[in-house]
Amino acid sequence: MTKEDDIKGLYWIPESPRWLVMKDRSDDAKRILLRLHANPDDPDNTFANTEFYQIHEQIALDRQRDSSWWHLFRKPSYRKRCLIAMGTTAIIECCGGLVINNYRPILYVDLGFSHTKQLLYPAAWLTFATGMNAVGVFIVDFFPPNRPQRTMPLLRYVAPLSYTRSVTLPYTLLRVDRLNMIEDDEYRASSQYRYWSYTEEKLAQIRQRTNRLASERVKAAIRKTGVPISGSSENNENTSADPAPGVPTLAAQEELKIVEWACTKIFDMGEAMNPRIPSSVVATAIQYLRRFYLSHSPMIYHPKPIMVCALYLATKADHFYMSLSTFVSELDKMTEEDVKAPEFLLLQALRFTLDVRHPLKGLLGGHAEMMAMVQEGRLGSNGPKATKFTAKRVESAADSAKGLLTRAAQMTDAYFLYTPSQIWLGAVMVADSELTQVYLEQKLNDLPFDDVTAATFKHRVLTTISACAKLLGSYHRSQEDSSAQRKELTRIRKKLDVCHDPEKVDIDAVVKIRAGRLSEKRDSYGSDAEKALKKRKVARSEVE
């Protein structure tokens, strides 16, 4: 397909709604968006209206900034995108496709094809390419836009590059996943959303499954090793030949209490360190620990070495540099090997994804926006009992919410069940429910929805944030220090000492055994290869 064909095809490509809005042709832009995003399941055109609103707001924001051509190279983010765009275009033009298309008959002559096949093959390829281009236009939208690494290999074989560039790509850029249009695209592409977001039912199922498998594994290990279980058969001289059936393994809720106890110890370690570890790094370590014990049980791997390793790993992941020797010097009865031993095991359980999105950063932005709205007089309720919020009230709510995010959000399942924006809004709702509702109403009123759609959307948002607020509000730090809680925790820890996997007591030894096995395998592979090489040399010498 030539450049002339590309230019002719531009007639059927819809004009950019963004360009139309910039030229004050908003009606034409909205008409194109309504046509492109028409959906029987969306009779109110909610998606198209939201897209239209975002375009308007983005253009208004861009007009307030420096819009000169030099700005493309002054700002680092723009410069990177500009260079990628220019580089991609240059690579396309230099890839040799045009040369091959123009000189294909000559190439076929050199390859020895007949005159008929010299023309038949290019015609067949172009015919096939045209049909597959048409198919590719419709297929491309069935793949998630946040996973181009899976989509691009298919496009590479389904649609040739020239037609994809002129038709498929602009069409794809105008279409967005309708089902998830409200969620932030960047967050949905993060590992936290893809790997560590669940519903309450799914999270409970995962923990129950982990507990069941761990119980079976502990009993099997006890049968294998024949380790006597202290406390499982007190005052019973006739011990059974099979010790495993008498093992009182932990329940899923008991395991969760052990994990929560380990989380409190990470808080204590962060406070006791010199220099003191920031709360954001401590929060990262706690999330590592909670994620680890979704796929592993405290009955298999005791939390003591895991929580220390998680805290040190968090200092590295969050760029809070602390040498291992300094870190170990602040701990009692811990060596550098004890800290390093579980690291690879922890990374495996985390799926080598160390990114943790914390809601505290969102709270800082929300606090700044609320303060701006207070100064502009836009943050207030309507009606006979109208309330105008003051900067002091906003500051008080933000401080209370920060405390909740620092402690309650870490000690509950908030990170697994809600997005960071929902968590910080839930924390503010616990601190000041009226302020949060007025703030959300103000934000939702700016969206281009009709009354019915706006009411439905508002109900859904408030329901989700209220559920998160209920979860955060259910945690009380005083529960950790209550005598009943300490007594219950002591009982569970004694039970854990009884049902701990005897083969995993010393994680350092387990790691060394694994390393030794790998070394033996490498040595065996090396010796086998050496034997084969010597055999070939002997056979070659005999032939000579």
| pLDDT reported for residue 527 | 58
Compute the distance between CA of residue 234 and CA of residue 249 in angstroms, rounded to an integer. Answer: 16
| pLDDT reported for residue 419 | 93
- For helices 420-431 and 360-376, angle between their N-to-C axes, nearest 10 degrees: 60
- DSSP for 121-168 reads HHHHHHHHHHHHHHHHHHHGGGS-TT-HHHHHHHHHHHS-HHHIIIII
Compute the distance between CA of residue 92 and CA of residue 167 in angstroms, rounded to an integer. Answer: 16
Residues forming a β-bridge with 388: 380
Closest CA to 282 of 409, 464, 189: 409
Domains 200-228+247-349 and 360-474 share a fold: yes
For 388, phi then psi, to 5°, come to -105, 120
Q: For the chain, give every domain's residue range.
A: 3-175, 200-228+247-349, 360-474, 508-543
List the Cα angle 472/473/476 in 5-degree steps: 100
Token pair, residue 365, equals: 């932005």
DSSP 8-state class, residue 254: H
The CATH number of 200-228+247-349 is 1.10.472.10
| pLDDT reported for residue 523 | 56
Per-10-residue mean pLDDT for the chain, 544 residues long? Answer: 64 78 86 83 80 81 69 76 85 75 76 77 80 74 49 41 34 34 67 93 96 91 66 43 66 94 95 92 97 95 94 94 91 89 93 94 92 86 69 94 95 95 96 92 79 83 94 82 84 89 72 59 56 64 59
- For helices 26-36 and 46-63, angle between their N-to-C axes, nearest 10 degrees: 140
| pLDDT reported for residue 67 | 64
- Indicate the fold that domain 360-474 takes in CATH: Cyclin A; domain 1 (1.10.472)
| pLDDT reported for residue 539 | 64
| pLDDT reported for residue 518 | 52
| pLDDT reported for residue 424 | 96
- For the chain, what percentages of helix, strand and coil (3-state, to nearest 5) are there? 70, 0, 25
